[in-house]
Amino acid sequence: MLIRSKRSWELPESMVTDEAVFFNRRKFLTGSMATAGAGLLAGCAPPVRAEVDPSADLYPVPNNPAYTAERAIAPESITAYYNNFYEFNSPYDFSFSKNIADEAQALPIRPWEIRIEGEVEEDFTIGIDDLLSKVSLEERIYRHRCVEAWSMVIPWSGFQMSELVKLARPRSSAKYVYMETFLNPDVAPGQTRKSYPWPYREAVTMEEATNELAFLVTGVYNKPMLKQYGAPLRLALPWKYGFKSIKSIVRFRFDSFEPKTFWHDTAPREYGFWANVNPDVPHRRWSQATERDIGTRERFPTKLFNGYGEQVAHLYADMGHLGKALYR
């Protein structure tokens, strides 16, 4: 059983069926119902293809062996139905279900325009497919650690964020990169929830944005990512708590000041700007000392910087008392 706390009859079909079969069968049902109405014999309905991502031809991409994890990769049959994407929770869902896979399919991901602006030589807008033609895609196995004390090992595909920073041509006055998720309450019911400051917003310093680990994700399991992961473009910052890894990005703004962010505005005493993974600094309501892997269900001790200190510790070396500075 995938989820021990639930009975098997409570599992939604999507949790126990392979995701490809699940999506294809739903399309097939829609197709066969339509053709049955047209008087065709049942069973002779033409196969209806699931929505094909226009970037599908770019995959598979080469694996970068510099980024591996000693733990097992979590299967897609689990990670595709265990997503924090508050935009797709019903405004009446106060437990914030992680099974938002169905709801997320309502997000249109083409056309998808990305705005680059602020402290740059010149503001511009670029379509996702144009952007994809200008960068080199690769696969990296990363550990992901959510602030809620669960984690997963996940094979992202995408490109180093430093490539986007270069394309943006920032001025020397640029000190931060601010990012925004789409705003469309018609398809994302969670955005009608008035108690949250939509759209979802995040930010990193220029040093963080150009660190080798900062990765802009376009695919998972070496194919275009399903919408629930944050298609068509999301961030992966493996040394920070998961909420910094903003999904479905439409804007990059280069700022000279520290930008305001979604979680910091929502609960400033619980979610800081830095949000570096640190087992010694508890969340105000729970310990961060250990984490549960959603792939294996095993519990592991949490590591400082999620085990990526070699690549990022120098960024924070002169920030004073470690715990306080890192978890502001």
Ligand X SMILES: Nc1nc2c(c(=O)[nH]1)N[C@H]1C(S)=C(S)[C@@H](COP(=O)(O)O)O[C@H]1N2
Residues in touch with Mo ion (CB under 5 A):
84, 146, 242-243
Q: 20 φ, ψ to 5°?
A: -65, -45
SS3 at position 10: helix
Q: How many residues does the chain have?
A: 328
Q: C-alpha distances in angstroms, 136 versus 142, 283, 299?
A: 18, 37, 35
The correct pick among 140, 143, 227, 247 for binding ligand X (CB under 6 A) is 247
| Of 62-70, 79-87, 115-123, 281-289: span binding ligand X (CB under 6 A) | 79-87
Check residue 246 for interaction with ligand X (CB under 6 A). Answer: yes
Check residue 83 for interaction with ligand X (CB under 6 A). Answer: yes
Residue 181 interacts with, from Mo ion, ligand X, none (CB under 5-8 Å by kind): ligand X
| Of 20-28, 34-42, 82-90, 297-305: span binding ligand X (CB under 6 A) | 82-90
How many other β-carbons are positioned within 10 Å of the β-carbon of residue 315?
16
Sign of CA dihedral 229, 230, 236, 240: negative
DSSP H helical ranges for 204-282: 206-209, 262-266
Check residue 84 for interaction with ligand X (CB under 6 A). Answer: yes
Nearest approach, Cβ of residue 247 and ligand X (Å): 4
Pairing of strands 176-181, 234-236: unpaired
Count of residues binding ligand X (CB under 6 A)? Answer: 15
Check residue 308 for interaction with ligand X (CB under 6 A). Answer: no
The correct pick among 104, 109, 114, 146 for binding ligand X (CB under 6 A) is 146
How many other β-carbons are positioned within 10 Å of the β-carbon of residue 246?
24
| Of 163-171, 244-252, 297-305, 313-321: span binding ligand X (CB under 6 A) | 244-252
Q: Which of 84/157 has CB closer to Mo ion?
A: 84
What is the signed CA dihedral for 285, 328, 271, 208, rounded to 10 degrees?
-140
- Token representation of residue 38: 């047209």
The correct pick among 242, 259, 272, 295 for binding ligand X (CB under 6 A) is 242
Check residue 229 for interaction with ligand X (CB under 6 A). Answer: yes
Check residue 239 for interaction with ligand X (CB under 6 A). Answer: no
Rounded CA-CA distance 327/317 in Å is 14
Which residues of the shown chain bind ligand X in the complex (CB under 6 A)? 83-87, 146, 181, 200, 229, 242-243, 245-248
